Amino acid sequence: MSPPILKTGRFVLKAYRQWVTQQPCAFCSSTEGSEPHHVLAKGPQGTHLDFTCVPACHRCHMRCDGQTVEGRPPIRQSWQMWAVGQTLVRFIQNANKELREAFSAEWERFAESRGPWEVPS
């Protein structure tokens, strides 16, 4: 059994990030090699959220980080969030059973490390 994830630690999904790097860029469809771009780099408790990473070629990754590249403007946050949804849908539809099970196990560990969900009254 893996050790629990600390409340201030990073939510790591190595298998998911590896799968993301094998996908075409979510923004230009380039197959030149994708880097995992974390759309939500920090979660509510200071955690790094790997399930919000999307495949981005180097040029689009720089644009996601707010840079203008080759005359093309930065990629808006709303487009990046749309790409998160599309990437997760592709993962659910195309990942093999072993990878989906690894994702689920890591998600459960993450949720358990956070304790019970608090519902505001």
Q: Residue 97 is which amino acid?
A: K
- Whether 3 maps to a domain, the answer reads no
Q: What is the mean pLDDT of the chain?
A: 81
pLDDT, residue 4, reads: 40
Domain span at 28: 14-113
Q: Between 3 and 77, where is the model more confident?
A: 77
Q: Find the length of the chain.
A: 121
Instruction: Kindly list the distances between the CA atom of residue 85 and the CA atoms of 35, 55, 114, in Å, as whole numbers in the listed order.
Output: 17, 12, 23
Q: Is residue 27 one of the residues assigned to a domain?
A: yes
Query: Is the separation of the CB atoms in 25 and 64 below 8 Å?
Result: no
29-55: pLDDT as tens digits: 999 888 999 887 655 555 567 788 999
Number of domains present in the structure of the chain: 1
**Using CA atoms, how far apart are residues 37 and 82, in angstroms rounded to an integer?**
13
In a domain, 29, yes or no: yes
**pLDDT single digits (tens) 18-29:** 899 999 999 999
Percentage with pLDDT > 70 across the chain: 78
Which token pair is 53?
Answer: 């990473």
Question: pTM of the predicted model, to two decimals?
Answer: 0.73
What distance in Å separates the CA atoms of residue 4 and residue 106, rounded to the nearest whole number? 10
Q: Is residue 57 part of a domain?
A: yes
What pLDDT does residue 105 have?
85
